[in-house]
Chain A
């Protein structure tokens, strides 16, 4: 097997997504077995994504919410039908 750094990084990203094609996936998994830094990076990337996904969506500030709903109601009455 001969995968250079950039190829490994590309494979790593697709591996995280589960979209790595079978042949390359096997090569990459074989590489992971012997490469601790790559294993850690895979885990880091997964956790990075998880953290951002889990970051609570902002609640609208109450004043914005009421402004928004007022203007929408007004516009609704004029909407094309």
Chain B
């Protein structure tokens, strides 16, 4: 039995995966039900359009049907599924933009050397995530901030921080270097933080502009 680097998804999914691989449709359907919402959410956040998200969900699970017999247990089912879903979503986006179907970005490509986005609006938030969660206007804010991100930053944030894949798993899913995953994640977090804090931060406790060009 393989050990997943992260999480308990191997333990949860493996029995169903094995039964599905042996032809048990009910087991397969249970797997689909377990992950369809998550795949839809990921697809929607990448593709930003309901119709496209639907297409990605269909394609993802149809691909699972096709390739389940080839699934080796060297990665968790969840990681494998997220790779299929992410690639399907990115492929769709590229197709819509008339770009080559396969990203030309190799793992050797160096990320740009621009300085990281410096925090401008710095203030503690007025409410906790637990209090904010679920509110309609907060969901709109989260969506708007995510939409403003470049796709390459958005995807890394979704895989690393929302889906909790490791840096290495994320690099593998996206076909980029570990170093690029780290840089993109930093940029994504800092840009999201900036947007969210401008709305959620307590303006009465805003920290004055602050740079560390020289620190004692």
* Inter-chain contact B32/A79, CB cutoff 8 Å: no
Residues of B within 8 A of A65 (CB): 36
Cβ of B117 to closest chain A Cβ, rounded Å: 8
* Inter-chain contact A51/B57, CB cutoff 8 Å: no
Known A-B contacts A1-B216, A49-B189, A76-B25; the reply to A44 vs B125 at CB < 8 A is yes
- Give the residue name and chain of the B residue nearest to A14 (CB): B182
Residues of A within 8 A of B68 (CB): 79
* Inter-chain contact A81/B215, CB cutoff 8 Å: no
* Inter-chain contact B65/A40, CB cutoff 8 Å: no
A21 within 8 A of B: no
- On chain B, the number of residues with a Cβ less than 8 Å from chain A's Cβ atoms is 61
- Give the residue name and chain of the B residue nearest to A55 (CB): B142
B93 within 8 A of A: no
- Give the complex CA separation of A5 and B117 in angstroms: 10
- Give the complex CA separation of A46 and B197 in angstroms: 12
Q: Which residues of B contact A (CB under 8 A)?
A: 23, 25, 28-29, 32, 36-38, 40-41, 44, 50, 54, 57-58, 61-62, 65-66, 68-69, 115-116, 118-119, 122-125, 128-130, 132-134, 138-139, 142, 146, 157, 161-162, 164, 182, 185-186, 189-190, 192-193, 196-197, 201, 207, 210-216
